[in-house]
Chain A
Amino acid sequence: MNKKYEEIVFLHKPKENKLKYAIVAFLVGGLVGLLGEVLIRIYVSCFDLSRNDASLYMIITFIFMASLFTALGFFDKLVVKAKAGLLIPITGFAHSMTSAALDYKNEGPIFGIGSNVFKLAGSVIFYGVVSAWIFGMIRYLWEVLV
Chain B
Amino acid sequence: MYFINSFLFCGIVCLIAELILDNTKLTPGHITSIFVCIGAFLDVFGIYDFFIAKCGGGALLPITSFGHSLIHGALQAAEVNGFIGLLIGMFDLTATGITAAIIFTFVFTLIFKAKD
Question: Which residues from 1 to 40 on chain B have a C-beta closer than 8 Å to any C-beta of chain A?
Answer: 2-3, 6-15, 17-19, 21-23, 28-29, 31-33, 35-37, 39-40
Given A72-B112, A83-B21, A34 contacting B43 (CB threshold 8 A): no
Nearest chain B CB to A61 CB, angstrom units: 9
- Is there contact, CB below 8 Å, between A22 and B105? no
Cβ of A131 within 8 Å of any chain B Cβ, yes or no, is yes
Q: For residues 12 through 61 of chain A, which have their beta carbon under 8 Å from a beta carbon of chain B?
A: 16, 18, 21-22, 25-40, 55-56, 58-60
Beta-carbon nearest neighbor of B27 in chain A: A120
How many Å lie between the Cα of A73 and that of B109 in the bound state?
12
9 interchain pairs, CB-CB under 8 A: A25-B17, A30-B14, A36-B6, A38-B3, A88-B35, A92-B32, A97-B101, A131-B37, A133-B86
Q: Is the CB of B109 within 8 A of A132?
A: no
Chain B residues with CB under 8 Å of A29's CB are 10-15, 62
Q: In the complex, which of the residues B11, B83, B90, B104 contacts A33, with contact meaning CB atoms closer than 8 Å?
A: B11
Chain B interface size range: 35 or more
- Among A35, A105, A124, A133, the residue within 8 A (CB) of B90 is A133
Closest to A118 in B: B102
Q: Count residues of A near B (Cβ-Cβ below 8 Å).
A: 70
Question: In the complex the two chains form, what is the Cα distance from A93 to B58 in whole Å?
Answer: 16
Interface residues of B (CB under 8 A from A): 2-3, 6-15, 17-19, 21-23, 28-29, 31-33, 35-37, 39-41, 43-45, 55-63, 65-67, 70-71, 74-75, 78, 83, 86-87, 90, 96-98, 100-102, 104-106, 108-109, 111-115
What DSSP secondary structure best describes chain A's contact surface? helix
For residue A78, CB closer than 8 A to chain B, the reply is no
